[in-house]
Structure formats: structure tokens, C-alpha cells
Chains A and B, each alone.
Chain A
Amino acid sequence: MIREHGARAPRLILLLMTAAALVGPSAWADLPQQTPSIFAPASTPADTIFGLSVFALAVTGGIFVVVGGMLAYAIVRYRERPNDDTSEPPQIYGSVQVELAWTVIPILIVVVLFLTTARIIFAIQDAPQPKDALDVTVIGHQFWWEFRYPKLGIVTANELHVPVSTSQEPLPTFLHLLSADVDHSFWVPQLAGKTDLIPNHPNETWIEPTHTGLYYGQCAQFCGVEHAKMLLRVYVETPAQFAAWVKSQQQPAVEDPQVAAGREIFETHACANCHAIKGTGALGTFGPDLTHLASRDTIAAGAADNTPQNLFDWIKDPDSMKPGCLMPSMQLSDNNIHELVAYLETLH
């Protein structure tokens, strides 16, 4: 009786599920997709990890097939059948040989997996820094990234530019990770594993991108209300492109008399307390350096594209774009904001 009723349930459920799958939404599918998959590595450490993970996956997958297969066989083969008699099956209490076997085999597997893992840990973590490697200091803030290139005298935010590394000219970038407030974690899956940014505990990691392009990442340690919008972009460029970018970033801020009104608003309002623009009186360090704001593709740590309209909305009411972020609304008139945006738009 039990069996008859029970069998109906799964069939009905399957039907309902098929129906649900058919009405699944697909509204966002037409956007250009770029998935930051850890299985699409584009940098030496990520690639090494990918190789190791394939090995680990093969080992664990093998175990799953064997043990899962045996289990599936056992529950089918040894199920109670309707015409069975009522006697109990033979009672078996254990077997030293069998138990020894399934203790020793896992030990051997663990040894192999452990040695492989240890080798990769040392290879990645203790890799020496070559002399000509690029140094970048990454500082985590609630909820944005500060990038400093100490040898090049560049300070920027949220969008990291690094040169591509080729086999002829290896050019890794070493990242020194600091935090200004709480714990964060630097993670660009296609370039390297993540490393945390912890206050009072400097960390280090490195990337060696082998393909040019744009790579997405984001903060991977919960750091407060806008943790989800602490996004991160890494632009991997050819050496020539990178040199050009460095050169433009090293310039002081553009001076354009046409937008002097906007500049004055910036300098005379509280903007200057938190933001710096090189060559002006604005020296704040609490928020991102805006000297070359217009050269960046996004604002608000990747929360929006860097368009005049978005910039306007952002300055008018940051909370509408990123609720809970630390930038206050300055209560400026729309006219003032337009002038301010016009000024910021010139900061290439």
C-alpha cells in the first residue's frame, strides 16, 4: 500500500518541474556576458591552480564514481522484495581485512593529494619577486579599492591597469594588500586566487596575466552594507598601451577655464575633504583620488558606467545608486551639480 502511494509523488513532481523550467525568465540573456570563471584562467597563478584543481577533481570524481556506484548497486540489489520471506538476512559484524583495505587506500590517496598540494602552495606563495616586477599597493576601503603605484607616482581607484606578461618578457605584478578599515578580500578569479586585506596585517599576492583584456573581480570578504558593490576591474594591456596609460596618469589634473565654476564648487564644498585632485587644493584621502576620473570607465566602485548622467545621479544622491555607501549627498542645486559634472568630465 505504501509503495503505491509513494510512487505517484515523484512523477507528479517531475511534471511540475518541467513546467517551471519552461517559464523561466530569460530577460538578461541578451547582454554581452563575461563570466569571471576560475576555470578560464588568464594568468600564471590562476593557471597553476586550475591545473591542480583538475587533478583534484579527477581524484575526487574517481572516488565518487566508485563509492557512489557501489552504494547505488547495494540499494538496488539488496532491497526487500514483495515475495521475500520474513527471515532476517545473515548478520555480519565486521571484517578486519576489508576494513583495513578501506583505511589504507584513502591514506594513500591523501598522501598523493597532500604532496601535490604542498608543492603548489610553495610554488605560488613563495615565488620570488623579480627585480623588474611592477609593484602596486592595494588598499581596501568601505566600499572601494585604492591602487597606488609607488614607483610610478600614480594613485587611482577601482580600475587596475597592468601590463601583459609574455614568455619573452615575463612581467608579473606584485600586489601589497592593506586595509584602511575592515577586512576585505582581493579576488579576480581569472588572474589569481584571493588574498584578504586585513588591517594591521599586510599581505601580498601576485598576478602574471598572459592575455590582454578586461577582467572582473570583486571584494570577497563581507565588509559591510555595500560589500556587493565593491567591484573591481583589471585592464591587462600591451606594454605600449600600459606605458601610454602611465604617462597620462602621471600628468596633473587638466586645467580648463571653461569649467572653472565646477572646479570652484569642488574646492569650496566638502568634496575636497574626502577626494584629492592633483594640482588643486583638494587633498582628501578618505574617498577615491579623482585626478583622472574621466579616464575611468566606471564610477562608485563599478556600480555604474562613467556617463555624465550617472555622475549627476551619483553626486545628487549616492544612496540611490549604492544604498548605505559612505559618500553623503551634498544637497547641491541641480545647476551646481551640472557644473560640477562638467568639471569632472574634463579630468582625463
Chain B
Amino acid sequence: MADQSIPIGGSLDVTPRDHERVPLLDRLHEWVVTVDHKRLGILYVLYALFFMAVAGAEALSMRIQLAVPNNHFLQPELYDQFFTMHGTTMVFLVGMPILFGIANYIVPLQIGARDMAFPRLNAFSFWLTAFGGILLYWSYIGGFGLYGMGNAPDVGWWAYAPLSTKPFSIGPTIDYWALALIVSGFGTLGTAINIIATTLSMRCKGMTLLRMPLFVWLMLVVSALTLITITPLTAAQVMLLLDRNLGAHFFDAQAGGSALLWIHFFWIFGHPEVYVLVLPVFGVASEIIPVFSRKAIFGYPAMVAASVGIAFVSLGVWAHHMFTVGMTSVSNTFFVLSTMLVGIPTGIKIFNWLATIWGGKVRFQTPMLFCVAFIFQFLIAGLTGIMLAVAPWDWQLHNSYFVIAHFHYVLVGAIVFNIFAAVYYWFPKVTGKMLSETLGKWHFWLFLIGFHLTFDTMHFVGIMGMPRSIYTYEANRGWGHLNFIISVGAFIQGIAVLIFFWNVIVSLRKGKEAGNDPWDAWTLEWATPSPPPAYNFASDPVVHSRRPLWDIKHPDDPDWKYES
């Protein structure tokens, strides 16, 4: 395409190319000791995809168990372990690594830097995260079970004390849980520090803060949020570990400790954590939607302000997870207000995406399909979020399947959809090959249908009074048919994900050559070869607007004439 006119690129490449036939062991060794942000990014994504398959299998087992009432597919102990591990894995070993992995790869490219600020810290962070995951799953082997089988944490990913304290959870599984999250949490902190230092001190010439791509902005905000919220959870986990192993009494209600304290600590971390996961995908959407609508993002300054606003407000809403714990009516009212306020900057974002599409020429290639579905689904997720913010209604909906539906609409409908969009969008840059559009369409439509069968239906069983975390339910409650539909949808999603994996494998081997700039996009990463060489840019880029490649492709009508 237009890449011939772009004057920068990788003339210089010090990594050995694959066709030079480096022995396999040496190549593996290179990957293990690498400090290159691009390789680490790929490692993060592969690691996360592996655990996505694991946690997905756990989810499918749970759906078989719940497909019919009074089912005996899973023992209750195993079911409890599966929903605990599914949640913990998806949040800590899939969501955060895959998003930080994509950021690791893309952020330095988008701001014209040669690497992250601290490459060795970057590698260290990845391996901490990786070993955190291994430690968590090691509990299946290392944690002895009551019933002669291996054991794993079984108290929910929220691990409410006192259920997670020693008298009610004997054996070492909760210790595995806490230690694994502390270890991988340190990894996340390292990456967050790295991303902030990189974006603030390593931008290329001309890349002012207000010219950064929105994905970089969102990652900056997310990293800040991570720094603030992870360590309070670490503090709580240290206290939990002391309670369990050395007889401290922080959460031991019998000895005067406080069960509520854990809930507060957990959600002070846990609610911003949701934004840590969702804000990066806002960034992804803000990159993809303009490119495939062929228009500049609408209201860039408002998008930046809304992102910062969401992050800021999200620090003050945690107790909306706690409307049922018996807070005073005044506290409840406060958290209703703060929670509803989040809706305003979020609404601004949806409107801006809509306005970006409006008047454009929308190309429905796979990345854009996932993004359009994302906007619809995120709209619904936001609206059910408003419903849950209505505290009295939350007294009914809390801990019901309605809540499960709501947060899966965010985590799957928004985040996973956009992660797929991001993979389809940046895969050509990372590998030099296009993903197959045919398989991509199959993947998209099957996943969309499966998603709606599963999670739309969950709203209804929630309203019909089905609580979460139950391994089975009574036959006369009228939940049977709907649960069967939910399970069918889950398997359709499973098939779609298999198609995705197949697509990745096939396209890696014989996909179409991508070239530097297959989507005719506008940010700096598309000015490098695919894949970019080590140290990315042969010479330091200089930019003059938010869309440097647009300026080059349209010298008669460049962006910098219009941006204030």
C-alpha cells in the first residue's frame, strides 16, 4: 500500500532471522532470556491464551454441571474449585497479562520509542507473572485434598474471610491463592511502572501528551490505576496469610477481627481492577474504529478527559459491591451516586465512538466486526450497571445470575471481543501474516451468537431468583430450560475460540503476506516493517499530529492544520 512513501523503517535488525536455522534449543533460550519488549509482549499473549483455554475448559465443565437441575457431573468440591479458579485465572492470568502484553508490544511502537524504559524489569515482570500462574495451578498438585484428590482454592475469587481463614479452609490451597496473586501482582506492578515511565519519558520528537494515540493514553491511565490498587490487596493478603499461618486475628470474627474489613480491602482493589481490564480495550476500540471508519476519532480531548475521569471516579465506588452487607443508608446513598457518576464519562466514550462511525465509510473486516459488537454490548453492560447501581434493586440482584450476566457482558462482551479485535488488527504487524478473513468471520459470528445465548439468558435466570456460586439447583424453580440454553451458548463460544486458535495456526503457516500497513492506518507502528526489527525504528521518528501517517499520506490536507 502506501508504505513506500514512509521514510522510516527497520533497515537495521540485529536479531537472527528464523530462516537462518538457529537450533531449536538456542531459539528457546533466546526467548527465555529476551528483554525485547516485542518478544515479551508475544510471550505475555501466548501465556494468557494458554490460560484462557484452561479457564474456558473450567467454565464449560461448570456449564455441563448446570445444564440440568440436580446434575451429578461435577462433585460440589470440584465445582467450587472450578468457579474459583475460573475467576482468578481469567482476571489475573488472562485479562491482565494479555492486555499488558499487547501494551508491551504496541506502546513503544506507537510513541516512537526503541524499547520500554526498563527492559530487564520488563522481563522480570513477565516471569513473575508467569510463575504466579504456575504457582496458582500447582495447588492442584501440591494442595492436599480432603477427599483424596488434588485440591485448589475453592472460596471464590473474592475469597471472603472468614471462609478463607484456617478454621473454614484447612489445607494450603488459600495460601497458594494468596501467594500466587502476590507474586503475579508484583509482576503487574513492574509492568505498570514500566509503561508509565516509558510513555512519560520516551516519546519521540513532536509526540506531545495530547498527540499520543488513545491506546497509549488508556494504558497510561490503567497503569496508574494499577499502581494505586494492587498493593492494598497485597496488604490484605499478607494479613490473611498471617491469620492463617501465624495466628493473627485480623479477619477472625470470633476473636474480635472483622469480616467486613476483608470485603472492603478486596473491593477497594477489585472494583478498580475491572477498570484496569476494561480501559485498555477502550483504547483498542479507539484505535480500530477510526481506521475502519476512515475518520479521525471524534472528540479526542473529551476521550482523554473521560478516561482520566473514569479512572478517578472508579476509586470511589467499591462499596457498590457491598450494598447488602448492612451499611448505613447514608453510605449506601453515597455509593449509589458515585457509581452512577461513572456512567457519564462512559456515556461520552460511547457517543464519541458512535460519532466517529457517523459520516464515515465503514469497512467490516474482522477487527471492526468485533468492535461494533463491542459497542452494542458495552452499551448494554453499562445500562445493566446502572440498574445494579440502584441500590434497592441491587439488594435483589446482588449475587444473582443477573450480576454474573452483567460482569460477563463487560468481561466477555466488551473485553474479550476487543481482545479478539486487537489480535486480528495487530497480528499482521507482529507476524507479517494476515489472519484469514473467512475463518475470522466464522469465529466472529459463532462467538457472537454463543455469547448472546449464554449471557442474555443469564439476566433472566437472575431475575427469576437464581443465586450465583451454586453447584446445582432445585428442579421446581423454573430455571432448567434457560440454564440449558446458557450451556449450549457456552459451547458455541468454545467452538468459536477453537476456530480462532485454528485460524492463528493456519495463518502463521500460510497466511497472506501483510506488508507494513495492511489496514491503511495512521499510527506510528504501521510505519515499521512487519514484524518490526529489534529497536523498532532505524531513526528517531518526528511527528506533528495525532495521525503521523495520515499527514504523510495526505500531504495536501494534514491533520496538524486542524488540531489545536
Contact = CB atoms under 8 A, between A and B. Distances in A.
Interface stretch (B49-57, B227-235, B329-337, B527-535): B329-337
B347 A28 contact: no
A256 interface: no
Contacts of B254: 199-200
Interface string A20-39: 10001111110111111111
Given A117-B336, A204-B326, A228-B473, A75 B357 contact: yes
Contact of A37 (B361, B463, B492): B463
Contacts of B162: 181-183, 199
Contacts of B300: 93-94
Nearest to A84: B361
B477 A216 contact: yes
B469 A25 contact: no
B163 A224 contact: yes
Interface in B136-191: 154-156, 160, 162-163, 168
A71 B379 contact: yes
Contacts of B156: 222
B324 A228 contact: no
Given A33-B476, A89-B361, A94-B300, A9 B442 contact: yes
Contacts of B376: 68, 71
A36 B477 contact: yes
Contact of B397 (A32, A38, A114, A182): A38
B298 interface: yes
B206 interface: no
Interface string A39-65: 100000010110011001101110110
Interface string B376-409: 1001100110110111111111111000000000
Contact of B437 (A5, A80, A113, A228): A5
Interface string A93-121: 11100110011001100100110011011
A122 B75 CA distance: 43
B488 interface: yes
Nearest to A120: B392
B387 A57 contact: yes
A338 interface: no
A114 B348 contact: no
A169 interface: no
B476 A25 contact: no
Interface in A229-266: 231
A148 B346 CA distance: 47
A39 B387 CA distance: 14
Contacts of A221: 160, 324, 399
Contacts of B386: 56, 59-60, 113
B247 interface: no
Interface stretch (A130-138, A150-158, A186-194, A339-347): A186-194
A198 B347 CA distance: 36
Given A68-B376, A227-B469, A93 B478 contact: no
Nearest to A230: B470
Contacts of B362: 74-75, 78-80
Given A89-B295, A102-B351, A198-B260, A193 B396 contact: yes
A63 B400 CA distance: 24
B321 to A, nearest CB: 11
Contacts of A220: 324, 398-400, 467-468
A90 B445 CA distance: 31
Nearest to B472: A228
B290 to A, nearest CB: 10
User: Interface majority SS on B: helix, strand, loop or mixed?
Assistant: helix
B294 A89 contact: yes
A61 B380 CA distance: 9
A269 to B, nearest CB: 24
A185 B168 contact: no
A335 interface: no
A114 B470 CA distance: 32
Contacts of A17: 449, 492
B438 A6 contact: yes
A117 B441 contact: no
A195 interface: yes
Given A28-B480, A228-B473, A49 B393 contact: yes
A22 to B, nearest CB: 12
A323 interface: yes
B392 A24 contact: no
Interface in B220-263: 253-254, 256-260
A132 B451 CA distance: 51
A219 B467 CA distance: 8
Nearest to B168: A182
B538 interface: no
Nearest to A34: B476
Nearest to A79: B362
A225 B80 contact: yes
Contacts of A92: 295-296, 298, 355, 359
Given A5-B437, A200-B257, A324-B76, A183 B361 contact: no
B39 to A, nearest CB: 31
Interface in B53-83: 68-69, 75-77, 80
Given A53-B396, A199-B254, 11 more contacts: A36-B477, A61-B383, A74-B358, A98-B355, A99-B299, A183-B162, A187-B467, A195-B395, A220-B467, A224-B168, A225-B76
19 contacts: A35-B477, A38-B397, A60-B386, A67-B379, A78-B359, A80-B361, A106-B348, A114-B337, A125-B332, A182-B162, A183-B259, A185-B324, A200-B254, A220-B398, A220-B400, A221-B160, A222-B80, A324-B76, A324-B77
Top 9 nearest A-B pairs (CB, nearest first) are A193-B395, A199-B253, A228-B470, A6-B441, A36-B465, A203-B326, A35-B478, A200-B253, A222-B469
